[in-house]
Structure 1
Amino acid sequence: MFDLTINHPFLVLFTLYLLFNVGYLGLYALAGAIQRSPNTPKSASQTIRRIAVLMPAYREDAVIVESAQANLHQNYPADHFDVVILADSLQPETLESLRKLPVTVVEVGFEVSSIVKSVNAGMDYLSDKHYDIAVMADADNHMAPDFLSRINEAFDQGWRVVQGHRTAKNTNTPVAILDAVSEEINNHIFRKGHRSLGLSSALIGSGMAFEFGLLKRLMSQSDALGGFDKELEMGILMEKIKVEYLEDVYIYDEKVQTGHVFETQRTRWIAAQFRYLRLKIRSGVAELFRGNLDYADKVFQTMLLPRLLLLGLLVCCTVISVIVDQTLWFWIFGTQLSSLLITLYISIPARLRRLVGWRELVQLPVLFVRYLRSIAKYRDARERFLHTPHGTVPLSSAGGSFMSDSSSAHRIS
């Protein structure tokens, strides 16, 4: 048998790293379960602010018209908000349909597209108008009817940045159900759990609102191809601006429905995580000693493994420790695995737990391998924008083999 003693240096460091991951997630999951996040209460707003809803749409012909129509239906004064479509490489017929709606269409085009470039172009276009709040929404997002009014109430309370509750619009495939579960785990741990302990909510890329001038200033300083929300968040936290989470203010988001789209999306996320870990680790340690816990915490989050990878590694380590007859390591890894499973369970809403069956569970090993592939390919996202396509797919094509390779990366000339 292998001699995997407790003093083996690599195993000790590896185990401590996994313990850091499990302990971090467990702490905030428990905080979110035990203590309510200090949500902004509903109130009669005294100020009706002007709001620009910015919707970057890169080749989103399948969903953007429907989303634009849905987002016009707000119980907020129609003359105090504008839906602004940042149209990048949309088809002429899509543009024609959008122009028939009471929305603002800003056509943009770049050699290499990114959300940052589209938003900066859109904010420049709007510079002759006055807005108090900028809301970021993806091209597939549908805001709940009270979304803007509740955002306005939060700004009445003095918040300068707030994150709404982004939740699944669809659960039509096993992959979409698992993606919806992942979204709600993030909401519970990184938003609700953090606010329960008095820290800032994490931003998520859409369903978020900012002081218009603050967003314009921070976005003008960004050159991110992916993970722009992380860069925004770090800039906000460096200025010691706290981010609120509005748990009962909903925006509905289309979940990825196939394995290859999952892999493309995670490749972009992994690339952004590696980038900001490399760029911000020193400033994170420095801000920790300066007492800026929000910023330090955000940087330390870039050290965390994606949960699916963490789960897969702990399962593998537990099984291997049984195979090689190492009882001590079995108990070490098995205890961490059990703790992680409890953490994930309490972070998932009951309505989604009921949707997870054997079809979803058998997808987990496939998605684990896809995550490993996304790490191997993360450099693909460093030079080009990896686009996540939207639109409903048939259930029969939703799983896919992990050996298939379908890239959604585009270079625009």
Structure 2
Amino acid sequence: MLLLFALMYSYQIVYMFVAFKTKKSKKPLMENVHSSKYAIIIAARNEELVIGQLIKSIKNQKYPKELIDVFVVADNCTDDTAKIAEQAGAIVRERFDKSIIGKGYALDYMIKIIEREYSSRKYEGYFVFDADNLLDENYIEEMNKTFNQGYRVITSYRNSKNYDQNWISAGYALWFLHEAEYLNLPRMVLNTSCAISGTGFLVHVDLIKASGGWIHHLLTEDIEFSVSQIIKGEKIGYCRNAMFYDEQPVTFEQSWHQRLRWAKGFYQVFAKYGSSLLRNTFRGQHNRFSCFDMTMTIMPAMLISSISMMVNGSFYLVGFFDGKEIIHATTKVLLNSFGWYYGILFTVGFITTLTEWKKIHCSGWKKIAYTITFPFFMFTYIPISIVALFKKVEWKPIAHTVVKSLDDVR
């Protein structure tokens, strides 16, 4: 299994070398950049604690204020989210629908309101954020530069508000940093397609209009959107100079439920789009490598790993009845497998921590400690991937309680 995975994912080693080289080079400054008009959409459910800080960070952007409008859809809220968002300067609409729930439905609800009531403002793109996000003051300016390069979908650099809380929040944050700089950055450099990840992205209005709104409603609507666009031939861009921060879960219960939804969502996307991705990989006319890359992204690799370990475990049990030789051999295989997987994941975390050291807002000893615990965080995906295969999973909100300004995070 290790050799099989090494073959399937070997191209990501090339990604790492491309990322190293790109980080050392200086990108030339763009001139004559057109300042586009944007609508910022925030889907929020009971986010009264954090939404004010997000809107404040938007209002503090170094970008023409008249070209930014903030829209908040207070989705099935029972608190003062709508009131606080309106006081902060956002255009707010409340949505109450307990039968059709999920971020995708909330986004579609607000997009249709914008198209119906604010079409005269002629927005060129929609930004999408979660209520717990915070934006660097240059965020929109930098995203606009990439938008000017012709990209119609753009993702950005995802940092964390609470990296230093514990090994769980750090595990999330470290993976998102790796995803940004060692997956999306080399994809951008090699002119293949990146992928959006949950929040912090920009979409051209023409793509939304062509689809008839936001039509992606699987449990992982972000990767579904990415895959569907890549299959159609769209190349998703990445803006590494546009940094935003979000809050990560800190309890294992929260983390379990969230990643269970992600795992189930990846299965759903693979079931719906897997055949199209594979067909485009071998016989497509555009984005062939990107389709292969997305296949590797959504392929249930963790499930395959889990099955492999279960098979090895069954041999171990057989050894109790048929002799010590099987126990000895299986134990050696299991320990070797664990060692290799830990070593690979540690290397991924170590390299990411080292290169992003100054951008990780955390004490030095915690950065080192959480690099050591990062593989264990990733190992917890194994039981999650198995449970997600059989369990019915529904979208559930996660409470955000880290109330910080941009200065507090820094």
TM value normalised by structure 1: 0.79
1:385 aligns with 2:395: yes
CA RMSD of aligned residues (A): 3.5
CA distance in 2, matches of 1:182, 1:53: 26
1:350 corresponds to which residue?
A: 357
- CA separation of 1:219 and 1:135: change in aligned 2, threshold 3 A: farther
Residue in 1 that maps onto 2:151: 159
Given the superposition, is the C-alpha separation of residues 313 and 62 from structure 1 closer, same or farther in structure 2, using an over 3 Å criterion? farther
Going from structure 1 to structure 2, the CA distance change for 1:37 and 1:59 (only over 3 Å counts) comes to farther
Q: Residues 322, 19 of structure 1: CA spacing in aligned structure 2 closer, same or farther, 3 A cutoff?
A: farther
Aligned to 2:137: 145
C-alpha distance 134-293 of structure 1, shift in aligned 2 (>3 A) = same
- The AA in structure 2 aligned to 1:73 is N
Amino acid aligned to 1:259: F
In the TM superposition, what whole-angstrom CA distance separates every residue of 1:22-43 from its partner, at most 9, and x where no partner exists?
6354342333224459997543
Which residue does 1:106 correspond to in 2? 93
Q: Does 1:297 align with 2:297?
A: no
Q: Which residue of 2 aligns with 1:411?
A: none
User: Which AA in structure 1 matches 2:357?
Assistant: A
Equivalent residue, structure 2, for 1:403 = none
Within 5 Å, give how 1:304-323 maps onto structure 2: 305=301
Residue 256 of structure 1 pairs with residue 249 of structure 2: yes
Gaps of 5+ in 2: 317-324, 404-410
Q: Do the aligned residues in 1 keep the contact of 2:181 with 2:240 (CA within 8 Å)?
A: no
**How many angstroms does 1:168 deviate by?**
0.8
Paired with 2:401 and 2:309, the residues of 1 have a C-alpha distance of: 32
Out of 70, 84, 100, the residue aligned to residue 71 of structure 2 is: 84
Identity %: 18
Higher RCO structure (Cα 8 Å, ≥6 apart): 1
Equivalent position of 1:397 in the other structure: none
Q: Does 1:222 align with 2:215?
A: yes
Q: Is the 8 A contact 1:263 1:373 kept in 2?
A: yes
1:233 has 2:226 as partner: yes
Shift of 1:89: 2.2
Shift of 1:190: 2.2
Partner of 1:50 in structure 2? 37
* Partner Cα distance (1:226, 1:295) in 2: 21
Residues 34-73 of structure 1, C-alpha deviation per residue, up to 9 Å, x if partnerless? 4459997543444221101111102222222222222221
Residue in 2 that maps onto 1:341 = 346
Counterpart AA for 1:119: L
Write the deviation string for residues 275-326 of structure 1: whole angstroms up to 9, x where unpaired. 111222211121012252212321231115359x78x969x99xx9997247
2:401 is paired with a residue whose SS is coil
Amino acid at match of 1:204: S
1:324 corresponding residue in structure 2? 328
Q: Secondary structure at the match of 2:366?
A: coil
Q: Which amino acid aligns with 2:157?
A: H
1:60 alignment partner AA: E
The separation in 1 between residues aligned to 2:296 and 2:233, in whole angstroms, is: 17
Q: Is the deviation greater in 159-168 or in 36-45?
A: 36-45
In 2, Cα distance between the equivalents of 1:374 and 1:337?
A: 18
Per the alignment, do residues 78 and 189 of structure 1 end up closer, same or farther by CA in structure 2, a change over 3 Å counting?
same
Q: Specify the SS of the correspondent of 1:295.
A: helix
**Cα distance change, pair 272–51 in 1 and its aligned pair in 2 (3 A):** same
In the TM superposition, what is the alpha-carbon distance from 1:20 to its structure 2 partner? 4.1
AA in 2 matched with 1:91:
T
Aligned to 2:169: 176
**Retained in 2: the 8 A contact 1:161–1:211?**
yes
> CA distance change for structure 1 residues 125 and 168 in 2, over 3 Å: closer, same or farther?
same
Q: Residue 281 of structure 1 aligns with which residue? A: 274
User: Structure 1: 5+ residue runs without aligned partners?
Assistant: 1-13, 394-413
Confirm or deny: 8 A CA contact 1:25 1:343 kept in the other structure.
no
Whether contact under 8 Å (1:271, 1:379) holds in the other structure is: no
In 1, the alpha carbon distance for the partners of 2:195 and 2:55 equals 26
Identify, as 1 or 2, the structure richer in helix: 2
Provide Cα deviations, 1:81-137, integer angstroms capped at 9, x if missing partner.
Answer: 111111112235332222223211021122231111111111111113221011111
Q: Which amino acid aligns with 1:278?
A: A
Kept in 2: contact 1:84–1:103 (CA 8 A): yes
The Cα shift of 1:209 comes to: 0.7
- Residue 123 of structure 2, aligned match among 107, 131, 137: 131
**Aligned-partner Cα distance in 1 for 2:79–2:348:** 48
Q: Which amino acid aligns with 2:171?
A: L
